[in-house]
Amino acid sequence: MNKRGGAKMSTGLRLLTAIAALLSLAVPQSLSAQDRDPPYWASVAAGQARMRTGPGRNFPISWLYQREGLPVRVVEIYENWRKVEDPEGVQGWMLVNLLSSERTAMIIGDVRPLREAPRAGAGIRYRAEPGVVGRVSNCRRGWCEFDVHGRSGFVEIGHIYGVEADEPVD
């Protein structure tokens, strides 16, 4: 092998090594977010996610979720499968790559005000109907910031599914 061929091989190997390094950074971070001890909160990461009756592709599909961002509670882990509970209390198994660690929540009950500040007397920015899903952050002392496509406000934790009553969320 001549020097020129060796140089090409070396450049090719460097490129493959760089690509492998990038892939190893991207994949484990998303999956490692789902390698926590249950119970914990996650959200549906795909536009279509199948829930199955057991932890494997050979188990029947019990539900097809078509709502990316829907909050779910992970209650059990088996290899690359997570047993989740949806806002209606339905439980089943999903592949880990169908879930995201992004924190979301869903408005429950009645129409709820999204307030300017985390207190009952604060002005109302928006009102959200039951079933509206948004990202949650800044959860403290019974309130969370709730963002729906850039429209945000504070909502009481008791009015959303996706956050524990005393759980701080950054």
Asked whether residue 130 is domain-assigned, the answer is yes
* Residue 108 burial by Cβ neighbours in a 10 Å radius (0-12, 13-18, 19+): middle
Asked if residue 120 is part of any domain, the answer here is yes
Mind spelling out the 3-state secondary structure of 69-96?
CCEEEEEEEECCEEEEECCCCCEEEEEH
Residue 9 domain boundaries: 1-32
Q: Taking all residues of the chain, what is their mean pLDDT, rounded to a whole number?
A: 85
Domain CATH number, residue 130: 2.30.30.40
pLDDT at 159: 97
My answer on whether 66 and 109 are in the same domain is no
> Same domain for 7 and 57?
no
Residue 168 located in a structural domain: no
Q: pTM of the full predicted structure?
A: 0.78
The model's confidence at residue 35, banded by pLDDT at 50, 70 and 90, is confident
Q: Are residues 116 and 148 in the same domain?
A: yes
**Looking at residue 31, what is its pLDDT?**
52
Q: What percent of the chain has pLDDT over 70?
A: 80
pLDDT digits (tens, 9 = 90+) for 67-77: 999 999 999 99
Identify whether the C-beta of residue 84 lies closer than 8 Å to the C-beta of residue 91.
Answer: yes
Whether residue 57 sits in one domain with residue 94: yes
pLDDT at 168: 86
Between CA 149 and CA 77 the distance in angstroms is 31
Cβ neighbourhood burial of 3 (10 Å; 0-12, 13-18, 19+): exposed
- Tell me whether residue 112 is in a domain: yes
- What does the pLDDT read at residue 15? 40
